[in-house]
Amino acid sequence: MSDLMARRAALLGPNVPTFYDDPVQIVRGEGVWLYDAEGRRYLDCYNNVAHLGHCHPRVVAAIAQQSARLNTHSRYLHEGILDYGERLVAKFGHGLSQMLMTCTGSEANDVALRMAQAVTGKTGLIATDNTYHGNTTAVAQLSTRRPPIGGYPPHVRRVPAPDSLAPLGGSTEAQAAAFAANVARAIEELEAAGHGFAGLMLCPIFANEGMPGLDPGFLDATVAVVHRAGGLVLCDEVQPGFGRLGSHWWGHERLDFAPDVVTLGKPMGNGHPVAAVIARPDIMAAFRNAFGYFNTFAGNPVSCAAASAVLDVIEEEGLVENARDVGAYALDLLSALRHPLIADIRGLGFFFAIEFAREGVPDGAFCGRVVEAAKARGILLGRVGRAQHILKMRPPMPFSRANAERLAETLDQILREMPA
């Protein structure tokens, strides 16, 4: 292990950080389990990429079979991208009937930003504080964890994300109005500065911001503000998409609003790098005219075979229903946890958050200790939020009631033993 750490440090430098004080060497995955080099197994409650469970045999077989037959780019005619894409866009309403494939969520979001600029002829963009939309130059400028060199570019404005601890304005309704008002103010600023307003990018459940509990309709006023100003609502579904919320296939359906553009990634290929942008034909046409698009690897037959197998398994194994039923069961168990620093416990399907705060002040250090302690007991968790003070749990979709009991019991033991 220390040999691997030394080789990483020498070769990869500081840019591929590891999880945990004492990192884990994972050598194998199966279903909800990951196995380390010593044969120890961990319950994966964090990785939303392995949506169907690690190394799902259907996806493995689809990749292997298509790789053995043909893999090439999307400029030749091939049924794979069509069979997949027709199935995928059929899962969307609001006229979102066309697809453009990418390899990563970052690329998908980059394209979405340019779609907004193409449609409006303007450059101004708005995103929320404490968000993350990826790592191209354009989308990295929306992320707030580290200010870009030279400061945030003037065509990007940030608005405070909804936050359970520091409400934008009391009740959920007042929060929603405050969020819309902040977006309206940012639009005015962009227009006054001469950039004009192209679009607002957001994750419909604000996953990286900490997944505050929001009611359907929360974004209605904001969407109206954006559309009145002629801009586009760019909905980053990289985290909530593909049924994770249990109630719906997509986060915007749960919040009940109509986005102009949707981006997909992470779970789409169960680990194979495949991502996409879904938009209306008029938006696709404007993007084509303004920018043109070619992506060497995106939409290749192997990616489409992997992504098709993901849809097959979600549907055949009833995984959205599982996220709904076992998600509700798990949330009941987690809601019974008690600790003086727990400020809130919430969940949607297989997306759970436990927020830690000390007298209203986020406690990221405590949350970090819980993550480390869980790892020591064989459970992998993550954290998010403006102070990294929120436990983030997104297990693979076949997560069972027994898995949920193990998660809740382990957290209960940890919290009992961990003084405030």
Which residues contact ligand PMP (rule: CB under 6 A)? 104-106, 109, 132-134, 203, 207-208, 236, 238-239, 265, 275
CB of 275 to ligand PMP, least distance (A): 6
Place of tokens 């495949």: 274
SS3 284: helix
Structure tokens at 25: 């060497």
- In the block, tokens 């045999």 appear at 57
Positive or negative, the CA dihedral 100, 104, 105, 108 is negative
CA angle 48-50-51, nearest 5°? 70
**CA of residue 364 relative to chain centroid, distance:** 21
Handedness of CA 82, 292, 131, 278 (dihedral sign): negative
Q: Residue 221, by phi and psi: left (phi above 0), alpha (psi -120 to 50) or beta? A: alpha
How distant, in Å, are the alpha carbons of 189, 209, 263, 370, 397 from that of 252?
27, 16, 11, 31, 19
Nearest Cα neighbor of 231 from 268, 260, 209, 193 is 260
Residues 6+ apart with CB under 8 A from 221: 176, 177, 179, 180
Interatomic CA distance for residues 307 and 63, integer angstroms: 9
- HEC-encoded secondary structure of 295-315: CCCCCCHHHHHHHHHHHHHHH
Distance CA 177, CA 169 (A): 8
In this structure, the strands spanning 232-236 and 261-264 are parallel
Residue nearest to ligand PMP (CB): 105
H or E stretch covering 262: strand 261-264
Task: Kindly state the tokens that stand for 365.
Answer: 């250090």
